[in-house]
Amino acid sequence: EILDAGCGTGQFSEVLLPYVRSLQCVELNPGMLDVARGKLLGAGAAVTFHQGDLLELPLADNSVDGACINQVLHHLPDDDSWSLMRRAFQEIRRVLRPGGTFVFNTCTNEQLAKGYWYFKLLPERTLKAMGARYAPLDVVNAQLAAVGFGEIEHHVPDQVIFGDNYLRSDGPLDSDWRRADSTWTHATPAELDTILQRVRDMQAAGTLQAWMHAADASRRGVGQVTLVAAQG
């Protein structure tokens, strides 16, 4: 029994499902949960959906063997005490059976600065706002340990997010492409207009593809996300 906490539209749940016996999907947003239900309709009784909060999971104590959170923690309206992140960790620890594993992903500030070519189009203010939403790894480790997790491991995968779509040099011009990364919502309409015009200008000049590859070079050796695994 695996928990996908903050499952959103079920994108990660769909990938995970073939590898597990059963899946508990929890999502606060009812619209996203409906999309997940439709996406996983063929799974039948193998998937159970719950509308609920990451900070008050609608599951019993010691009820799942493993848990994951995928690209959700930085959306918590936290302050620099990271108390909401700690509450989320407490809830995962509560529902996790002894010996279970909790896996989630996060970004370091270095990964935000170097791991995404299109971030170099965005204003510095936007990147600072995003960076403030990700707890440093030493804080993450301390919060996990404080609520009772044992061994903690970090891993930086080689893969890029969004797969082949990531290297679409004209991606910023596509609103659906931008919606895949909430960072774009931090740009004001005026800033976005300036960014899109810059992309169009490079596209017209035939330099956009080369600029993208040069901007992406800093990703190598840094990665885009850090996977954290903690033992219950």
Amino acid 129: pLDDT: 87
Handedness of CA 105, 111, 117, 119 (dihedral sign): positive
The first and second tokens of residue 23, run together, are 């899946």
- Cα(28)–Cα(78) distance, integer angstroms: 17
Q: Is the dihedral of CA 14, 71, 143, 26 positive or negative?
A: negative
pLDDT for residue 188: 93
208-216 helix and 189-205 helix, angle to the nearest 10 degrees: 110
Which pLDDT score, from 0 to 100, does residue 164 have? 87
So what's the pLDDT on residue 71? 87
First to last CA, the chain: 15
Task: Identify the pLDDT of residue 162.
Answer: 83
Identify the three-state secondary structure at position 77: coil
- What the block records as the tokens of 99 is 């010996």
- CA–CA distance, 116 with 119 (Å, rounded to integer): 6
* 8-state DSSP, 73: G
What is the spatial distance between Cα 19 and Cα 134, in angstroms, rounded to a whole number?
29
Q: What is the mean pLDDT of each run of 10 residues along the chain (232 residues)?
A: 95 91 95 94 92 96 96 90 96 96 95 95 90 94 96 94 91 94 91 97 98 96 96 90
Classified as helix, coil or strand, 80 is coil
